[in-house]
A = this chain, B = another copy of it.
Amino acid sequence: MGDDLASAAVPAHTSVARGSRNDNTRRHNLSSLLTAVHYGGPLTRAQLTRDTGLNRSTIGGLVTELAQLGLVVEDAAAETGAVGRPSLIVRPRRDVAALALHPDVDAIELGAVAIDGTVLARRRASVDAPPTPQDAAAFAWEAAREIADELAGLRVVGAAAAVPGLVAVDSATVVDAPHLGWRGVDFRELLAEALTLPVVVGNDANMGLRAEWSFGAARGVDTVVYLNGSASGIGGAALVGGRMLRGGRGYGGEFGHMMIRSDGDRCSCGRFGCLETELNAERLDAAAHDDAALDVLAATLAAAIANLECAFDPDLVLLGGYLGALYDVRRGLVDARVAELAFRPEAEDVAIARTALGGNRLLIGAAERAFAALLQDPAGVPLVAL
């Protein structure tokens, strides 16, 4: 009740909130239904009626419209054994998809991901040198053609790219991706031209968290801190009250550059004692069979988590990549240190967990980002044959 108001965005200020009309209502309800079957898997009409609080007749009309838009199908109900007329099952259509691109230092990957989160097809190319934006766009075009041949009849909502680096708030410009060597590139335009599709570009850690939130270890949790250790450093992202932390310019969540040791080593970013320098892949490899060294690294991780906890008070801290691996081998130590350092009353421990999705995480997360527009306005976003 009151809690929602505690964090609620108050509409106006400089700009007055747009007025709402009847068609907003319709859009909102279509969005609620499509979103529900997107995340919740197949749901019966009856469940949708109960969950939304809308009338049976209204649900009927909405589902019909979603079906006419080609977004969902209705199956005969599974035998439930319950009394009463069986309810039709509403499923998102698997031929509705998004393209997801992940250019990285050693490979480029493109996948087609269905609206139910399934990866339908993927193409991967290893590269010797980090790809240029043009390389990435060219690969995307070729891979998309192959996938189009493989999966006939796919209807695509757009494409999204998960880039390891800073992406501006416009979801278009790669401001600085040091490991790729991209700086100030309007990759959205490049990719959109190559694919002739609407494109959004985002930070890879953000998309990783998005995927885990939608279909992985953070399902249903709405306050999450995410830390992912990879060859290109530590990527961070946060979900705050059900919304992705973005920041004013799009650079929020860079927890890899949180200062964790004031007398630490110089980081590639120019500062000292950054988490991603104190706790990097090489140090972890070097400590692989050195118990004491592993303990030190685990303590560093715990200190970082404690710091993030007092800033974000998350319900869940999600660890991926080599940080997840470190957590696996030093779970007791990390948990204990975090509890010891925890600012909160000790009874209320914070959950720490490993990521659940494997190698498809970024593809799924990027696709999620591409689907966002459709989920928000199912009748307003056109689907394109791939």
Residues of A within 8 A of B (CB): 2-3, 5-22, 24-25, 28-29, 31-32, 35-36, 38-40, 48, 51-54, 58, 166, 169-172, 175-176, 200, 202, 206, 214, 219-220, 222-223, 236, 238, 240-255, 257-264, 269-271, 273, 303, 306-308, 310-315, 340-341, 343-345, 348, 350, 369, 372-373, 375-376
Contact of B258 with A307 in the complex, beta carbons under 8 Å: yes
A178 nearest CB across to chain B (Å): 11
Other than A5-B200, A12-B35, give 7 A-B pairs with Cβ distance below 8 A.
Answer: A3-B246, A10-B39, A10-B214, A17-B52, A176-B345, A241-B243, A271-B343
* A263 contacts across to B, CB distance below 8 A: 262-263
Verify B10–A313 contact, CB threshold 8 A. no
Copies in the complex: 2
**Chain B residues within 8 Å of A54, by CB:** 19, 21
A254, closest chain B residue (CB): B310
Complex contacts, A25 vs chain B, CB 8 Å: 20-22, 24-25
- Check B17–A32 contact: CB distance below 8 A: yes
What are 12 A-B interface contacts by the 8 Å CB criterion?
A: A6-B250, A7-B243, A12-B38, A16-B51, A236-B311, A240-B241, A249-B348, A253-B311, A254-B311, A257-B343, A259-B306, A308-B311
CB nearest to A267 among chain B residues = B343
Chain B residues lying within 8 Å of A24, measured Cβ to Cβ, are 20, 25
Contacts of A258 in B (CB 8 A): 307, 310-311
